Amino acid sequence: MKDEVEISGFKDIYHFFMSAKARKRSFYVSFGDAVDQTLADYRLQEVVYKSADQQAPSNNDVTLVLEPINEPDFVAMIEAQDRLRVEFFHEGRIHYFDVQVGDVSASSGGVGFSAKLPENVRAKPNREMLQLPAASDEKINMSIGGQPVDVIDVSGGGASVLLPQANLYDVEVGKAIKHIELKVDGFQTKVNAEVRHMRSHVDGLKLLVGLRFIFFRNHEEDDLLHLVKQKIASVSRQL
């Protein structure tokens, strides 16, 4: 399952980012090393188009200016010429684009940066077609900020969990939840996740929250998907 080019060509790319700015879409940038990465939420503040006279417009004529939505609880280091991967969620799938940092600026929420319009936007394959029931599986565990949560099901790309009703005002569709630890059998990883949907649980005491994982190691998506397929096949053979 290879990543697909979803958007390319100057006109389509430019219009996509103009729409993303108008809709206040959230973008995610990962920081840290492969062992302990964390996430910062960004928003597109400006799309600056400066075309040279008598020349066809190009991606280099457009500058994207991204600023953090909130001040992160860690030091986010960005320097000019850094190469960053920026992820976001669009039409039910994880999308991303790669940029080289131009200018870096300080803002009220932390470090902002600018970059030229990317050549394309790619989409990762949908990993959520298979869902593994987890409520009665003692080998499937998840914690958020060190606090255990009840897991309803796990897929290759996300999970459904129950959170205390007291978290109602801390959880928002489209925003990231950080500091998640997931264990499935021998598989263990740290991830962040986007809230894709939420509603009150039938008992009225908890929230049923659908999460879409943001992985920090490329192979972890494939590893989790492979494990979910294995466990589903094993359960099917036992029926």
Q: pLDDT band for 107, please (50, 70, 90 cuts).
A: confident
Check: CATH 3.40.50.150 for 131-238? no
Work out the burial of residue 87: count CB atoms within 10 Å of its CB; fewer than 13 is exposed, 13-18 middle, 19 or more buried: buried
Query: Any idea where the domains of the chain sit in the sequence?
Result: 4-123, 131-238
In Å, how far are 38, 67, 80, 95, 178 from 115, measured between CA atoms?
21, 12, 10, 17, 25
- What type of residue is 204? G
Which SS3 state, helix, strand or coil, does residue 4 take? strand
Q: pLDDT band for 15, please (50, 70, 90 cuts).
A: very high
Across the range 119-134, mean pLDDT stands at 79
CA 203 to chain centre: 30
Task: Give yes or no for residue 166 having a pLDDT over 90.
Answer: no
Tokens for 56, please give them. Answer: 């066809």
User: Are 111 and 78 in contact, with CB atoms under 8 Å apart?
Assistant: yes
pLDDT at position 1 is: 53
- Do domains 4-123 and 131-238 share one topology? The answer is no
Q: Which residues contact 45 (CB under 8 A, 6 or more apart)?
A: 21, 65, 66, 67, 112
Task: Give yes or no for residue 103 having a pLDDT over 60.
Answer: yes
The CATH class, in words, for 4-123 is mainly beta
Q: Which sign does the torsion angle of CA 121, 88, 13, 59 carry? A: negative
Select the more confidently predicted residue: 161 or 127.
161
User: Are 27 and 88 in contact, with CB atoms under 8 Å apart?
Assistant: yes
Select the more confidently predicted residue: 191 or 169.
191
Region at 27 (left for phi over 0; alpha for psi -120 to 50; beta for the rest): beta
pTM over 0.75: no
Which SS3 state, helix, strand or coil, does residue 6 take? strand
Q: How far apart are CA 119 and CA 135, in angstroms?
A: 43
Q: How far apart are CA 77 and CA 144, in angstroms?
A: 24
